[in-house]
Structure 1
């Protein structure tokens, strides 16, 4: 875990499971990111195991479940987590085809609760997370920029070592690189990148590598 600021902090854990798409299944380790203070928080992505997520959340009230995209290793337990903590799932609507590979509509015809869009802001514990629509790895992929914390949560859009994977259904490499240049390269170079898998990096380090 890492603390930032006097009250708002970022808590982190890693959980293991599987990722399945296009008839292939792979073992993966996913990062769990929770942003908040001692009383409230938001959860970024819901991979594999609700109990593991709740170990990071603790007794805090979850204000929202923010999904960077709808690959199954990022959203598989989102509905179960929503039931546990009674908080809305937020996802970009362009992710509907991927979401429906893992989840069906509920009895009311709902898929998730709140549509994300570029510039959508979520407030928690006195700080703001701003959604940046960064399609390419997935059509509705979103990064969450927290300016006051000097970081951005990139899901699978940008990793330590470069852009996320493409070559699977609903992904496109030129679109991904264009998204990164248009949205993420506009952030300060010292912005810490908290990824969906693996180690942190910075915008400046990845900008130098990708060009």
Structure 2
């Protein structure tokens, strides 16, 4: 059975630099009836586990270390036995939320994660955070962009460990080079496409945020 993409939205908070905000997060599940990968275990381990159901969970992949994307990861891992994977450059963010735990494995640029007969290729896209990654699934015509690229522009770079020129370079070099029809499935809000976002790069640079 071919891999498919499932989606749920979970709600909670995001905290950094002394502030806390209410957020809704996209949780993506890639798999078939037998196995799956969860991308960003946000807020609600029970809801995510229910969506996975009886399938074998291959991995819990974190697009970056901000707490709203990793807060439910240890609990989901404990329930399913699946390893939590994070790029090591975001370990300091992970430790702000889970000081006594480490991720189970490291993500690296070019790494592939196989699930249900398809490959998710890790693209290291720093800027929103140093260890931010996107996951490209060419067989599915999609890229899971975390908080690197949204409908309407780059992810936020106004807080600690973020950098606007770096995120623009990541988007230009790693994402806008993908086929235009590639669907961009984001960490928050609505999906978009590479073709819809590519023409606006110079506008984002002019805005400078």
- TM-score category (smaller protein): over 0.9
Question: Of the candidates 79, 92, 98, which is equivalent to residue 74 of structure 2?
Answer: 79
Q: TM-score, normalised by structure 2?
A: 0.95
Map of 2:62 onto structure 1: 67
Q: How does 1:29-178 map to 2 (within 5 A)?
A: 29-106=24-101, 111-178=102-169
* Separation (CA, whole Å) in 2 of partners of 1:176 and 1:98: 17
* Separation (CA, whole Å) in 1 of partners of 2:58 and 2:156: 30
128-137 or 56-65: bigger deviation: 56-65
Structure 2 residue ranges without an equivalent (≥5): 203-209
* Separation (CA, whole Å) in 2 of partners of 1:51 and 1:100: 23
- After superposition, the CA RMSD in angstroms is 0.9
Shift of 1:52: 1.1
* Separation (CA, whole Å) in 1 of partners of 2:169 and 2:2: 36
* Separation (CA, whole Å) in 1 of partners of 2:48 and 2:199: 34
133-142 or 55-64: bigger deviation: 55-64
SS at match of 1:197: coil
* Separation (CA, whole Å) in 1 of partners of 2:90 and 2:173: 20
1:12 aligns with 2:3: no
Map of 1:190 onto structure 2: 181
* Separation (CA, whole Å) in 1 of partners of 2:100 and 2:104: 11
Structure 1 residue ranges without an equivalent (≥5): 1-5
Shift of 1:59: 1.2
| Aligned length, in residue pairs | 202
4+ long deviations beyond 2 Å? none
Q: TM-score, normalised by structure 1?
A: 0.94
* Separation (CA, whole Å) in 1 of partners of 2:189 and 2:50: 20
Shift of 1:77: 1.1
Map of 1:3 onto structure 2: none
Shift of 1:55: 2.2
Shift of 1:105: 3.3
* Separation (CA, whole Å) in 2 of partners of 1:96 and 1:60: 29
1:7–1:38: 8 Å Cα contact kept in structure 2?
no
